[in-house]
Structure 1
């Protein structure tokens, strides 16, 4: 099994995820545009609006996956929680546990931020992702025509 390092990116690291983010958008039927991807990531990080983790193969020293989290707030719980909005692993690195590692890192981060839950959504036809989320303890909440919503309690 390939050794993977998970790293939280900073402004200086955005090139590690630009192409991955573009590929993620293509997966969800958006047009490829590396400049749009770069600008979006740069804006989120500059404005401290998201946290991004990248998975790097230690053998090839290339980025093979990423996840992006956005904060959300709960007035009832008086807490900041997190939405795992984006998760992507390159095709040739799938089925190697990288998605699981990225989610575990996201959960660990959210816990250190005193979050009470982590939420995410996935396409209704993304059966591989659904199986992964459910195997990790995420519970399906809502069903609509395009996406399933999932949540896991962290406390």
Structure 2
């Protein structure tokens, strides 16, 4: 797997990234397939590299993985943090070091750009990812993630 190239996504990766993102969302996590326009808008944002960026793994000319970073701040850490929102490698390339290379590229990006932390989360059911992140030196936080779908008029 030494022929794996890890780099920031480029415009010409867009079609392959769209396919990988759909595989990640729909096939891997079984979320509803995203609306095409929404996925295109997200790709636009990531290609601008202002609110976030993506790294890709290329093996023999084929995109086989990606990692998505979003930029924000942490009051508790009093500085910039990067959130690794996704790290995905196609099934045929798992356990071949591609995920490790993507993770390290994201971590180095955070270090070189002055972020005080790289944060991420994974599904409670994704035990393989949990083992991987622990192997990479990740530590579980003492915080519980929550989410809510925004609704107009609630709490008025």
The answer to whether the superposition gives a TM-score over 0.5 is yes
| 1:26-83: CA deviation from partner (whole Å, max 9, x where unpaired) | 12222335724333212333372111000000xx310000000001213454421100
Aligned to 1:104: 104
Residues in 2 aligned to 1:20 and 1:65: alpha-carbon distance in whole angstroms:
7
Counterpart residue number, 2:80 = 80
TM-score normalised per structure 1: 0.82
8 A contact 2:46–2:54 mirrored in 1 = no
SS in 1 for 2:137: coil
Q: How many residues were matched structurally?
A: 144
Are residue 40 (structure 1) and residue 42 (structure 2) matched? yes
Matched with 2:14 is 14
Consecutive unaligned residues of structure 2, counting only runs of 5 or more, are 147-156
Look up the match of 2:64: 64
More strand by proportion, 1 or 2?
A: 1
Distance 2:22 2:61 in 1: 19
User: How many Å separate the matches in 1 of 2:55 and 2:49?
Assistant: 17
Could you list the structure 1 runs, at least 4 aligned residues long, displaced by more than 3 angstroms after superposition. Answer: 10-13, 75-78, 142-145
**Pairwise CA RMSD of aligned residues?**
2.3
Based on CA coordinates, which of the two structures has the bigger radius of gyration? 2
